[in-house]
Amino acid sequence: MTEEQFIEIKSEYLDKIKKMVLELGNIEPHVTIIGNDLEEDKPAIIHIPLPDKIANSDNGKQLFVDKMIPEIAVKIKERFDVQAVCFASEAWMRESHKDDFNPDVDDYKKLPISKEILIVTIDTETDMESHVYEIIRMSVSPTGDIVEDIELRNMPELSREYATNEGRFSGLYKKFTTV
């Protein structure tokens, strides 16, 4: 895969994720591998959806990262040269003043939800980029009808911060390539 092909695939991937949220109203959390099919010697994309049972529990997500990714990675490396590993998911954003919350002691789930967000990460051998968007749902028309009009508002500061965070779904490129 050439650098130009990779940039095009990455851009298309990000555009399709945003389009899916705007048109369908949501996305299922998933990991996407961008790479080269070794047999056919051409670019390929693999989508790995996270089933609800896994995506909706902290233990399930940790099991996916610790146990399932290493097993999946072995199979993927047999047929693909991994160029990037992407992760996309909706999430609830919770905020607190830094003096009011101690992550070592306090339960983040007790913080009030302030926003619904879309998180997309693209992790390569040399770079980790993230794109975070606030999902704004307009649900009542001027006539009082319920409508699902969705807007994605780019959150560049949070995107930069998220790219440097160490969460369970960070460093996916390494998790898929060092097995």
Strand partners for 22 = none
Distances 155 to 44, 132, 137 between C-alpha atoms, Å:
29, 6, 16
How would DSSP label each residue in 100-126?
A: G--TTTS-GGGSPEEEEEEEEEEEESS
**9 and 112 in contact (C-beta within 8 Å)?**
no
Name the one residue in this structure whose structure tokens are 């040269």.
81
Structure tokens at 128: 């980790």
Residue ranges per structural domain of the chain = 3-177
pLDDT tens digits for the chain (179 residues)?
889 999 999 999 999 999 999 888 888 999 999 999 999 999 999 999 998 888 888 899 999 999 999 999 999 999 999 999 999 998 887 766 566 665 566 556 666 667 888 999 999 999 999 999 999 887 766 676 666 778 899 998 888 877 777 777 888 999 999 87
